[in-house]
């Protein structure tokens, strides 16, 4: 099949739904590479708690942006947008179809549509919010965001203090909801985009999450988190799976409660992923058990139509 324009196939969906397995099947079929846009898998020090693909999965296709950074080096969505687009430019020289996969909605949108512009605000706002986080906890910031911008509250990773503070500093600094600055017209991309979503009913998603967390614990997540405990304040470690265990190491949680909190917060994260990805009406949704050949057939039909 001859493509008239480069095409990026992006696989999205909630955590633990099977995106990695499908991405490898698509990459093998189209003889393409895989761009990972999971913002937790960038860091080489975090393996078990971020569900990095197994060695045999990484060997089955050429992956990019997995464990390519250190937790000691800040890395943000703007840098990822730049790096991913540059990598795609190189990959498209070899093959006009490439694959991207991940559950980080903001990072997916950065590559496919570009980032939104936000005005500069007084740096003192961030200082004040950080102090509030330390003194009153994340719940105080969550409630503040809920009051100032319910749309953002319902869509961002509400357990991530960095994301909350970023939204709040815009709300406070501009006296305007953070969400109003989003989804403005942006520079067009030099490739066609086909987005494939995997889904299941909520009970199945939650069950798969619970099973994955149990497997992480069995595979050594406590030991991995223990090694990172002294760096717990780094931004990269403000994430589900580590934060709860840090509270256990601080004697704020029992081990059993920490594990139950990981499961609960991961389920909440999955719910927000679904909300985010469902906003794009062009996404081609499939049940997670759908045969990959059926998905490939649908993709190829869309490539022909787009081309």
- According to DSSP, residue 115 is labeled P
pLDDT digits (tens, 9 = 90+) for 233-247: 998 999 999 999 999
Share of the chain above pLDDT 70, in %: 97
Q: According to the model, what pLDDT value does residue 2 have? A: 46
In CATH, 7-115+186-306 is 3.40.640.10:
no
Q: Is the pLDDT of residue 123 over 80?
A: yes
Model confidence over 251-268: pLDDT tens digits? 999 999 999 999 999 999
Q: What is the pLDDT of residue 307?
A: 56
Instruction: Confirm whether 7-115+186-306 and 123-181 share one CATH topology.
Output: no
Q: pLDDT per residue over 75-107, tens digit each?
A: 888 899 999 999 999 999 999 999 999 899 989
Between 161 and 33, the higher pLDDT residue: 33
3 neighbors 96 (Cβ within 8 angstroms): yes
Per residue in 158-173, pLDDT tens?
Answer: 888 988 999 999 999 9
Residue 202 in this model has a pLDDT that exceeds 90 = yes
Give residue 128's pLDDT.
94
What pLDDT, on a 0 to 100 scale, did the predictor assign at position 4?
A: 57
From the annotation, which residues make up the binding site?
13-20
Q: Express as a percent the part of the chain with pLDDT over 90.
A: 83
- Cα–Cα separations (whole angstroms), residue 186 to 86, 102, 115: 18, 22, 8
Burial class of residue 185 in the structure, from the number of CB atoms within 10 Å of its CB (0-12 exposed, 13-18 middle, 19+ buried): exposed
Q: Please give the annotated binding residues for ATP, written as ranges.
A: 13-20
Domains of the chain by residue range: 7-115+186-306, 123-181
- Give whole-number Cα distances, 282 to 195, 279, 285, in Å: 7, 9, 9
Q: pLDDT category, 204, cuts 50, 70, 90?
A: very high
Tell me the CATH number of domain 123-181, given options 1.10.580.10, 3.40.109.10, 3.90.1720.10, 1.10.20.140.
Answer: 1.10.20.140
Residue 236 is predicted with a pLDDT of 92
Which of 22-26, 66-70, 117-121, 188-192 is least confident? 117-121
CA distance 195 to 282: 7
- pLDDT score at 306: 65
Taking 70 as the threshold, does the pLDDT of residue 108 lie above it?
A: yes
User: Residues at the annotated binding site for substrate?
Assistant: 15-20
């Amino acid at each position: 099949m001859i493509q008239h324009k480069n095409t990026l196939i992006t696989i999205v969906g909630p955590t633990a739904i099977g995106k990695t397995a499908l991405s490898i099947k698509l990459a093998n079929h189209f003889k393409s590479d895989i761009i990972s846009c999971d913002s937790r898998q960038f860091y080489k020090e975090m393996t078990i708690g971020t569900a990095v693909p197994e060695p045999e999965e990484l060997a089955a296709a050429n992956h990019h942006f997995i464990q390519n950074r250190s937790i000691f080096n800040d890395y943000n969505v703007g840098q990822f947008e730049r790096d991913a687009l540059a990598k795609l430019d190189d990959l498209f020289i070899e093959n006009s179809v490439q694959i991207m996969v991940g559950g980080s909605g903001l990072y997916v949108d950065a590559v496919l549509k570009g980032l939104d512009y936000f005005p500069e605000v007084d740096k003192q706002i961030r200082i004040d919010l950080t102090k509030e986080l330390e003194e009153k906890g994340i719940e105080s910031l969550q409630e503040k965001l809920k009051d100032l911008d319910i749309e953002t509250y319902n869509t961002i990773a509400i357990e991530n203090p960095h994301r909350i503070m970023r939204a709040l500093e815009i709300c406070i600094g501009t006296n305007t909801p953070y969400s109003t600055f989003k989804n403005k017209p942006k520079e067009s991309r030099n490739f066609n985009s086909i987005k494939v979503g995997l889904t299941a009913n909520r009970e199945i998603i939650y069950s798969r999450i619970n099973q994955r967390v149990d497997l992480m614990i069995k595979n050594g997540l406590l030991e991995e988190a223990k090694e990172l405990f002294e760096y717990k304040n780094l931004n990269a470690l403000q994430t589900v799976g580590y934060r709860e265990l840090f509270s256990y190491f601080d004697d704020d949680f029992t081990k059993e409660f920490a594990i139950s909190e990981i499961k609960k917060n991961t389920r909440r994260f999955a719910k927000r992923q679904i909300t985010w990805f469902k906003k794009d009406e062009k996404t081609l949704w499939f049940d997670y058990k759908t045969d990959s050949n059926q998905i490939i057939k649908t993709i190829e039909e869309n490539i022909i139509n787009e081309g």
